[in-house]
Amino acid sequence: MSEEKLRQQVSDAFKNRAILYFLIFDELRKELGEERAEEIMKRAIYRRGVQKGEKYKPYAPGNFEGLRDAFVSGVPDDGRLFDPNVLRCDADGLDVNLENCPLKEAWEEIELGEEDRVTMCRIAGEIDKGTFEAAGFDFEPDTWQPGRTGCCHLHIRRKNA
């Protein structure tokens, strides 16, 4: 299999995940309302993040260089899939902008309205929140908003006691 074909399959798998997220959310909101649907989706996705966070525990409470290297090197397709741009890495924290996002691209491709895309980015961002909080860091997601380039801005800090 060619590298380009494999790259496309990885991207398509993430896009499939995004579409499933939306379809599940859409069914839940029809039954339970938007607020409750978002709450349920966030809890489930956060739990998956918690499972993923184990691998970053060795870097807590403040090895942000190690965390940066481990996180960035773990982005699929040598970073191309999300194109992480490290804006800050110092003793106080790590800030990473994800310049690309196959999930957001999928929601654009299926022509979700702007409000639904904002909601879905907020929901999907819970995986990062679960990951970094479970690893022992404070985490503040700054998910995509209309008019902004890129996608999520990840703000990781030393956990406050």
Domain ranges of the chain: 3-158
Q: What is the pLDDT of residue 121?
A: 97
* Residue showing tokens 């998956």: 48
Given pLDDT bands bounded at 50, 70 and 90, which one contains residue 131? very high
CA 25, 27, 33, 37 torsion-angle sign? negative
Least confident stretch, 41-55, 112-126, 146-160: 146-160
Residues of the chain with pLDDT > 70, as a percent, come to 99
For 125, which DSSP code?
Answer: T
Whether pLDDT at 161 is above 80 = no
Q: What is the pLDDT of residue 118?
A: 97
Q: What is the pLDDT of residue 150?
A: 87
Q: Is 102 within 8 Å of 18 (Cβ atoms)?
A: yes
Q: What is the pLDDT of residue 160?
A: 84
pLDDT in tens, 12-68: 999 999 999 999 999 999 999 999 999 999 999 999 999 999 999 999 999 999 999
Upper half-sphere CA count for residue 90 (Cβ side, 13 Å):
3
Q: What is the pLDDT of residue 149?
A: 85
Q: What is the pLDDT of residue 1?
A: 79
- Domain 3-158, CATH 3.30.1380 — does that match? yes
Q: What is the pLDDT of residue 139?
A: 97
